[in-house]
């Protein structure tokens, strides 16, 4: 019986991990399961009250050693070690406490980077599943890298073919941690991704991996790794912006920063498809020069723009800049992307932003910074054909004229821009189809739930 299923969902305390995890929790709660959501105390403290009001969801915060929050001033490797040490102990204690009370967890689901939760599950002999919050294609690239099935030593001008994928990549398209230019501070990353595969292998038979994607979007990549059973269960997006089954589900409920500026009246005042929405990630921090070049490119575009940034004070001509656009420290991204005035998304190409652009049918200009973003940008431009990637000049800076050029192509009335808009609309329809009753993601999620409750009964979504 599904009501006897109690899932412990453990998430990395970052926005890009919390959002899909919370949405996954909502989906399984609707099927009748009990869900306990666990992440760091600092993240739980910052999350909106909406998370605590999700019917049936239990929050279980733990100290990661940084209860006031981790910032770029802290050493990222120290933080990852502290998160692992504190998190492993906390999850172990939580599992054992629940068992003593006769309400044991029947399954552990853990997000990308939380390898230690999978290890705890193995040690306590509790079935577990990885919730992968990047594209299936990126998982496949990492798999080939660690299994040395592909030679990744090529230079930028060498094209590499990936077995089973209709996709050719150059080294500049790899996840940033695999590139020689990756900063030393991120040396922790590749060992963590390798550990994901090691934990899956130690868990035994062919392991399922839940992926925030859908079959039509990544059909080949989902099936490329025979060793594991990848299941597309996405897009993990609030229902109001996707299938409409729950019109009250208008936010993830886990926002770490709350909206402080009202931008809807400004958007309502703009013409249809006229606004450039700019959001370049919550983790990356751009140099003053790069911020200035983006600002100049936006001005050159002569289009109204809504820019989400907390670094506006670095701009030297902010008053002139604000005549054309609006700058806010935070917004509901799906609310903005679904607004009829938005015609283009200038994005860092984080996976949540990518899939939200696809669900909203909005073409993109991609400005990838790190992690999976270079690969995501490649997919958006050359595989899904919904946008184009900015090209950096010598020195790694993307200049204003390049920003303006790409924005003009994507938003312009030319054939290339029109094709991108058509492709974006196509993926919007396919994304909605995937989560409908009988759609691929709907079927996959029901199949996963059938498996973990140990029966073949069906669950209504």
β-bridge mates for residue 354, sequence order: none
Mean pLDDT over the full length of the chain: 89
pLDDT of residue 460 exceeding 50:
no
The structure tokens listed for 334 are 């799906």
Q: For residue 281, what pLDDT is reported? A: 80
Q: For residue 458, what pLDDT is reported? A: 37
Nearest-CA neighbor of 136 among 225, 226, 222, 227? 222
CB atoms within 10 A of CB 115: 21
Tell me the per-residue pLDDT of 115-136, one tens digit each, with 9 for 90 and over. Answer: 999 999 999 999 999 999 999 9
Tell me the per-residue pLDDT of 314-335, one tens digit each, with 9 for 90 and over. Answer: 676 666 777 899 999 889 999 9
pLDDT of residue 459 exceeding 50:
no
Sheet with 107-111, strands from edge to edge, namely 57-59, 34-38, 6-10, 107-111, 128-132, 208-211, 229-232
Task: Kindly indicate whether the domain formed by 2-252+435-452 is annotated with CATH number 3.40.50.740.
Answer: no
Range scoring the smallest mean pLDDT among 19-28, 180-189, 348-357 = 180-189
Q: For residue 73, what pLDDT is reported? A: 52
Distances (CA, A) of 356 to 66, 265, 424, 428: 30, 22, 11, 9
Tell me the per-residue pLDDT of 63-101, one tens digit each, with 9 for 90 and over. Answer: 998 888 776 656 888 999 999 999 999 999 999 999 998
403/389 Cα distance (integer angstroms): 10
Q: For residue 455, what pLDDT is reported? A: 36
Nearest-CA neighbor of 108 among 88, 126, 90? 126
Range scoring the smallest mean pLDDT among 89-93, 186-190, 349-353, 422-426 = 186-190
Q: For residue 265, what pLDDT is reported? A: 94
For 268-306, b/e burial (b = at least 16 CB within 10 A) is eebeeebbbbbbbbeeeebeeebbbbbbbbbbebebbbb
431/361 Cα distance (integer angstroms): 10
Give, in degrees to the nearest 5, the angle at Cα 369 between 295 and 174.
145
The structure tokens listed for 154 are 């090529």
358/148 Cα distance (integer angstroms): 32
Q: For residue 347, what pLDDT is reported? A: 97
Q: Tell whether the torsion through CA atoms of 318, 319, 324 and 325 is positive or negative.
A: positive
The structure tokens listed for 318 are 């902010």
β-bridge mates for residue 109, sequence order: 9, 129
Give, in degrees to the nearest 5, the angle at Cα 25 between 64 and 281.
60
Q: For residue 456, what pLDDT is reported? A: 31
**What value does the mean pLDDT take over residues 265-294?**
90
Domain ranges of the chain: 2-252+435-452, 264-430
Common-topology check for domains 2-252+435-452 and 264-430: yes
Q: For residue 150, what pLDDT is reported? A: 79
pLDDT of residue 457 exceeding 50:
no
According to CATH, the superfamily of the domain at 264-430 is Glycogen Phosphorylase B; (3.40.50.2000)
Cβ(376)–Cβ(382) below 8 Å = no
β-bridge mates for residue 306, sequence order: 277, 326
CB atoms within 10 A of CB 370: 19
Tell me the per-residue pLDDT of 33-55, one tens digit each, with 9 for 90 and over. Answer: 999 999 999 889 888 677 778 88
Q: For residue 48, what pLDDT is reported? A: 66
454/1 Cα distance (integer angstroms): 8
pLDDT band at 453 (very low <50, low <70, confident <90, very high): confident
pLDDT of residue 154 exceeding 80:
no
Q: For residue 240, what pLDDT is reported? A: 87
173/177 Cα distance (integer angstroms): 11
pLDDT band at 4 (very low <50, low <70, confident <90, very high): confident
Tell me the per-residue pLDDT of 385-436, one tens digit each, with 9 for 90 and over. Answer: 999 999 999 888 999 999 999 999 999 879 999 999 999 999 999 999 999 9
Tell me the per-residue pLDDT of 266-275, one tens digit each, with 9 for 90 and over. Answer: 999 999 999 9
The per-residue DSSP string of 142-167 comes to HHHHHTT-S-----TT--EE-TT-S-
Q: For residue 312, what pLDDT is reported? A: 66
- 196 included as an active-site residue: no
Range scoring the smallest mean pLDDT among 10-14, 60-64, 135-139, 179-183 = 179-183
End-to-end CA distance of the chain: give it in Å, rounded: 15
**What value does the mean pLDDT take over residues 240-266?**
79
The per-residue DSSP string of 303-333 comes to --EEEE-S-GGG-TTHHHHHHHEEEES---H
Half-sphere exposure of 260 (CA within 13 A, CB side): 10
For 102, residues 6+ apart whose C-beta sits below 8 A from its C-beta are none
User: For residue 10, which phi and psi values (nearest 5 degrees)?
Assistant: -110, 125
Establish whether the linkage from the previous residue to 57 is cis, with ω within 30° of 0. Answer: no
Q: For residue 252, what pLDDT is reported? A: 79
**What value does the mean pLDDT take over residues 370-383?**
95
**What value does the mean pLDDT take over residues 363-390?**
96
> Which of 4, 6, 17, 74 does the annotation list as catalytic?
17
98/456 Cα distance (integer angstroms): 27
Half-sphere exposure of 274 (CA within 13 A, CB side): 12
């Amino acid at each position: 019986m599904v009501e006897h299923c109690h899932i412990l969902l453990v998430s990395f305390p970052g926005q890009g991990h919390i959002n899909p995890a919370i949405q996954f929790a909502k989906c399984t709660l609707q099927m009748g399961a009990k869900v306990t959501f666990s992440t760091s105390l600092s993240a739980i403290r910052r999350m909106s009250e909406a998370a605590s009001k999700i019917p049936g969801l239990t929050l279980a915060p733990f100290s990661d050693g940084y209860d006031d929050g981790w910032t770029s001033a802290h050493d990222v490797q120290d933080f990852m070690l502290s998160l692992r040490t504190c998190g492993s102990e906390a999850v172990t204690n939580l599992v054992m406490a629940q068992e003593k009370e006769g309400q044991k967890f029947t399954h552990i689901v853990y997000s990308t980077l939380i390898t230690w939760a999978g290890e705890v599950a193995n040690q306590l002999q509790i079935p577990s599943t990885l919730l992968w919050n990047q594209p299936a294609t990126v998982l496949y690239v990492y798999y080939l890298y660690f299994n040395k099935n592909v030679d990744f030593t090529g230079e930028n001008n060498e094209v590499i073919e990936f077995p089973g994928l209709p996709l050719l990549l150059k080294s500049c398209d790899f996840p940033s941690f695999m590139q020689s230019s990756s900063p030393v501070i991120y040396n922790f990353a590749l060992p963590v991704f390798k550990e994901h595969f090691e934990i899956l292998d130690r868990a035994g038979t062919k392991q399922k991996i839940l992926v925030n994607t859908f079959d039509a979007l990544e059909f080949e990549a989902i099936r490329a790794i025979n060793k594991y059973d990848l299941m597309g269960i996405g897009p993990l997006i609030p229902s109001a912006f996707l299938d409409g089954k729950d019109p009250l589900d208008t936010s993830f409920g886990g926002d770490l920063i709350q909206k402080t500026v009202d931008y809807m009246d400004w958007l309502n005042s703009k013409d249809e498809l006229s606004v450039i929405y700019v959001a370049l990630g919550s983790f990356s921090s751009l140099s003053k020069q790069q911020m200035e070049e983006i600002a100049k490119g936006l001005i050159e575009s002569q289009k109204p723009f809504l820019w989400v940034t907390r670094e506006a004070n670095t701009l030297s001509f902010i008053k002139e800049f604000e005549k054309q656009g609006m700058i806010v420290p935070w917004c509901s991204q799906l609310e903005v992307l679904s607004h009829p005035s938005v015609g283009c998304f200038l994005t860092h190409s984080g996976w949540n932003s990518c899939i939200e652009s696809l669900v909203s049918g909005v073409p993109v200009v991609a400005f990838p910074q790190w992690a999976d973003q270079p690969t995501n940008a490649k997919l958006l431009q050359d595989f899904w054909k919904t946008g184009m990637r900015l090209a950096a000049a010598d020195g790694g800076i993307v200049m204003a004229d390049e920003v303006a050029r790409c924005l003009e192509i994507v938003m312009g009335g030319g054939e290339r821009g029109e094709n991108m808009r058509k492709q974006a609309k196509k993926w919007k329809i396919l994304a909605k189809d995937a989560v409908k009753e009988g759609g691929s993601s709907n079927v996959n999620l029901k199949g996963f739930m059938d498996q973990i409750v140990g029966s073949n009964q069906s669950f209504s979504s």
